[in-house]
Structure 1
Amino acid sequence: MGKSKTTYTIIDVETTGRGNEITEISIFKHDGEKVLEEFTSLVNPNSLIPDYITALTGIDNAMVADAPIFAEIAEAVFSITEDSIFVAHNVNFDYNVIRNEFRKIDMDFRRRKLCTIRLSRVLFPGFRSYSLGKLCVSMNIDLVDRHRARGDAEATVTLFEKLLAHKNSKTVFADFLKKGSKEATLPSHLPSAIFDAIPNGPGIYYFKNKKGKIIYVGKAINLKKRVLGHFYDKKEKELDLCRETAHIDFELSGSDLVARLMEDAAIKHHFPIYNQAAKRVPKPYAVFSYEDRQGIEHLAFNTLKATPNPLQIFHSIRDCRLYLEQVCERFELCPKYCHLQENVWTCSHYKLTTCKGVCREEESVASYNERANLAINYMANSNQNRILKEKGRHLEEEAFVLIKNGLYLGYGFVEKSEQIINTDDLEAFLIPQKETTEIQGILRKLLLESSNVQALVYKF
């Protein structure tokens, strides 16, 4: 019995935009020589089609009102694509939209994929744009009914036939379809050589669009693994990010700590559109101390504006409470007098069991205050001069983080062969940075959690 011939299903979908519910689908089944079968249908998305989508596609709510919902055509879509290779222009978009529709009706949809954008970049290099419209103009392909599923799918069929006819198509197609190939996973505009150049070490990475603008900054202990994770993530924001990504730059850091500091600085400098959380201006909170009428030392927190003589400043109330919990536990204080429990006679914190009984008169105020004052002094003096030592970007290098007079000054990299006698010697290698509330939180947590901070620092 002979080997069955490879078939391809060339597909295009139109959607509602936000939410990506299908409004139209067109599928052409192809045997590598000719079209064998076609399936095209409008689809009722069960949601309103925005005006800007109607302006783009011509599909409005009235047109789809009597159309079948996806569940009613799912069997037909599943059948025509079964045992075929899924082909589309920017394949990850169409594939993920369709797979998500199947997931909604508890059906698993998995097909091997080929992307005509990525194939065109390899087999027909040199074009300024690989969008379907511009590619069709460059290659004299008729494109009728642009932004309608059948028109775009039919043009993609013609493009696919030109790709199949290329003298190197057999080798390139085979490489793209290999089990370990990332070609069907990477964003359509991203050359595979760019991804291949990303190392496995710690650092930060920059996603850039076709114009070279930075649209996202991230950090990772393993850069290649983290970047690839974006391309497997099916959340709408990630799909939008990947569709826009045309280039990725990176910087090695040597360690996770330096990567976090580098990431914060890069986000604050570039304010990329997909780093939305970094654009929010945090409301500062602070920890302070006071003595009550019984002479008991309290640790409390409030907004920075309402805090007298702040001991530590935070950019969220959550971080403030977490820090106080850590201090309370480390110095065996009472959660009630650290204001982690309000309106209680005696403490009964769900997590902290360090209290020695001052709230139950089982410990003297003097004994309790001794530890409370140690905690206050610790917080007041924790912002001292420190030089934190980290791994460098290669074996012959070390990284450092400089805190001077309680202020974070930046990080740097220095060869191990350099003779470092004092802080001034290190400052020659410093990459100056601004202190932010996020940086304060990163460094404060590190210093508080380290039981032996001196092991982290240079000794002069």
Structure 2
Amino acid sequence: MQSQLFAIIDVETTGGGIAGNRITEICIALLKDGEVIDKFTSLVNPEREIPLHITALTGINNEMVADAPRFFEIAETVEEFTKDAIFVAHNVSFDYNVIRGEFRRIGQHYNRKKLCTVRLSRKLIPGHLSYSLGRLCNTINIPHLNRHRAEGDVDATVILFQRLLSLDENWETINTFLNPRSKQATLPPHIATEQINELPESPGIYLFKNQKHQVIYAGKAKNIKKRVLSHFYDKKTKEYQLGQETHFIDFEITGNELLALLVESEHIRKHYPKFNRAQKWPTTTYQIISYTNQRGIIQLALSKTKVLHDSVGTFYNKTEALEKLEEICETYKLCPRFCTLQSNVEICSHYRIKNCEGICEDTETIEDYNAKVQAALQDLYENKPSFAIQGKGRTEDEIAFALVVEGQYRGFGFFDRSDAICNVEDYEPFLKLQQATYHTHAIIRSHLKKHGEKNVVHFDESPQLANYRVETLRNKRVKSTVEDVFSHWDLA
């Protein structure tokens, strides 16, 4: 094993992620029996402009590479130099994938066994705050000259790798890292193996955090460990960058997928993670509101907004909102003009709603008309549903729940199967309050649409709860399913 050839490699690039990265400089040092036996260094014409911030970092500008060979002109040298060697680099996934990408562009396949000196250092030289090449070299007294140039970084990595070899004389750690079935071969450089080993194979959420413990990605999974590892198998630029910036992984077991979705949504709302795209942007909602006009008539209107306000109801597409407004207007014999279903008319003439009793023609008193509007609003408010969706908890003896009170998502929690839970206030001691949003509404609505009444516990009468501001329900109408009722109400 001691005669094994290692190729210690560093590349400087134009930046732009794995897919768009082009090499501007490459250095390869061949190491055998612990000694450097050969070295290849070259600037490379990337066939594109080098961004100014990259030049500021590396010192390599467009003029320096203008007459340098293009990659296809040195590809044979790179291939021959490394063909019998194990590919070694500090943060090996970066250099390896960039070089593979260059070979791919010229129609060639490049495949080597690889070792990462970041991960090896974490294992063999534990306890340091940073494992970046510069800081690690400073800490353990390795000379690191000409930083951010390929040859300077390779020279420092060679000395680091020589020390790592001396600390792993029987190659127990190196052989583990070379094992293709080992997680070490795919894990990003800054994530300790212990963090992966601690991940549960249960439903819940996981949080990727950067070096400052800031959440940069929140995800949900039926199997947390399996889903986390899948990010590191994915070679897309976004997944690669996510892995490079992740230093810590936290998780929270939820017991079932519904709670995982709701908790994930809360973390995205709270932390606004860099790598989450879904659920980050406000969604346009359509709200039915009421106000009194200059004549003293209570009008209903449709308001388009990205912020949830108090309203009769909130809808997530315009067609559904208009249909509900028309239903209210027709059911309570209101005027389409004063429900803003028609504009620029003195007397209503709606194509479908024909039962207006004359408020627009002054044949109905304002008092009588307003009484009908108040009745409509009262009935609508009283029919906001209260229910809990129960599901599997984190253990066999536990039940998980998501709670909705008068159409508003209030949060989630867990209780023991032996606890006596009969009405809505019994959930309060176990409830973790959460903020309701468009996304929590959509998650619950989707769950109800998929699963129907299964595991839904209804509260036909809701006593006053100071925490929830729930009034006693009066004259509650029966709807076909809780989904039908819930789909119309806002959760703000």
State TM-score, norm by structure 1: 0.77
Q: Which residue of 1 aligns with 2:274?
A: 273
Deviation at 1:312, TM superposition (A): 4.7
Which SS does the other structure have where 1:216 is aligned? strand
Which SS does the other structure have where 2:183 is aligned? coil
Do 2:209 and 2:217's aligned partners in 1 also have CA atoms closer than 8 Å?
yes
Do 1:414 and 1:429's aligned partners in 2 also have CA atoms closer than 8 Å?
yes
Do 2:255 and 2:395's aligned partners in 1 also have CA atoms closer than 8 Å?
yes
Alpha-carbon distance in structure 2 between the residues aligned to 1:79 and 1:142: 29
Q: Which residue of 2 aligns with 1:387?
A: 388
Do 2:2 and 2:33's aligned partners in 1 also have CA atoms closer than 8 Å?
no
Q: Does 1:7 align with 2:2?
A: no
Deviates more, 1:412-421 or 1:247-256: 412-421
* C-alpha spacing 1:458/1:385, structure 2 compared with 1 (3 Å): closer
Cα displacement string for residues 380-424 of structure 1 (whole angstroms, at most 9, x for unaligned residues): 999511211111111111111111101111111111121212221
* C-alpha spacing 1:83/1:386, structure 2 compared with 1 (3 Å): farther
Q: Which residue of 1 aligns with 2:28?
A: 27
* C-alpha spacing 1:220/1:59, structure 2 compared with 1 (3 Å): same
Alignment of 1:144-223 (within 5 A): 144-167=145-168, 170-223=171-224
Deviation at 1:201, TM superposition (A): 0.9
Instruction: Point out the structure with max Rg over C-alpha.
Output: 2
Q: Does 1:132 align with 2:133?
A: yes
Alignment of 1:19-418 (within 5 A): 19-167=20-168, 170-285=171-286, 303=304, 312-314=314-316, 383-418=384-419
Deviates more, 1:51-60 or 1:129-138: 129-138
Deviation at 1:116, TM superposition (A): 0.6
Alpha-carbon distance in structure 2 between the residues aligned to 1:393 and 1:432: 18
* C-alpha spacing 1:46/1:310, structure 2 compared with 1 (3 Å): farther
Q: Which residue of 1 aligns with 2:457?
A: 457
Cα displacement string for residues 127-152 of structure 1 (whole angstroms, at most 9, x for unaligned residues): 23211112212222221211001110
Counterpart amino acid of residue 122 in structure 2: R
Cα displacement string for residues 138-172 of structure 1 (whole angstroms, at most 9, x for unaligned residues): 22222121100111011101111111111556111
* C-alpha spacing 1:323/1:135, structure 2 compared with 1 (3 Å): farther
Alpha-carbon distance in structure 1 between the residues aligned to 2:125 and 2:285: 55
Deviation at 1:179, TM superposition (A): 2.5
Alpha-carbon distance in structure 2 between the residues aligned to 1:310 and 1:106: 62
Deviation at 1:39, TM superposition (A): 2.0
Count of aligned pairs between the two proteins = 391
Do 2:24 and 2:45's aligned partners in 1 also have CA atoms closer than 8 Å?
yes
Deviation at 1:278, TM superposition (A): 3.8
Alpha-carbon distance in structure 2 between the residues aligned to 1:36 and 1:190: 33
Deviates more, 1:387-396 or 1:107-116: 107-116
* C-alpha spacing 1:102/1:259, structure 2 compared with 1 (3 Å): same
Which SS does the other structure have where 2:41 is aligned? strand
Cα displacement string for residues 219-266 of structure 1 (whole angstroms, at most 9, x for unaligned residues): 111111111122122222222221111111100111111001001111
Alpha-carbon distance in structure 2 between the residues aligned to 1:74 and 1:55: 27
Deviates more, 1:119-128 or 1:53-62: 119-128
Q: Any gaps of 5 or more consecutive residues in structure 2? A: 290-301, 323-379, 461-492
* C-alpha spacing 1:214/1:157, structure 2 compared with 1 (3 Å): same
* C-alpha spacing 1:104/1:321, structure 2 compared with 1 (3 Å): farther
Alpha-carbon distance in structure 1 between the residues aligned to 2:321 and 2:13: 47
The partner residue of 1:17 within 15, 19, 28 is 15
Which SS does the other structure have where 1:151 is aligned? helix
Alpha-carbon distance in structure 1 between the residues aligned to 2:66 and 2:397: 67
Do 1:389 and 1:458's aligned partners in 2 also have CA atoms closer than 8 Å?
no
Q: Which residue of 2 aligns with 1:371?
A: none
Alpha-carbon distance in structure 2 between the residues aligned to 1:432 and 1:80: 61
Which SS does the other structure have where 1:279 is aligned? coil
Counterpart amino acid of residue 26 in structure 2: I
Alpha-carbon distance in structure 2 between the residues aligned to 1:254 and 1:125: 35
Alpha-carbon distance in structure 1 between the residues aligned to 2:31 and 2:384: 68
Which SS does the other structure have where 1:254 is aligned? coil
* C-alpha spacing 1:193/1:419, structure 2 compared with 1 (3 Å): same
State TM-score, norm by structure 2: 0.73
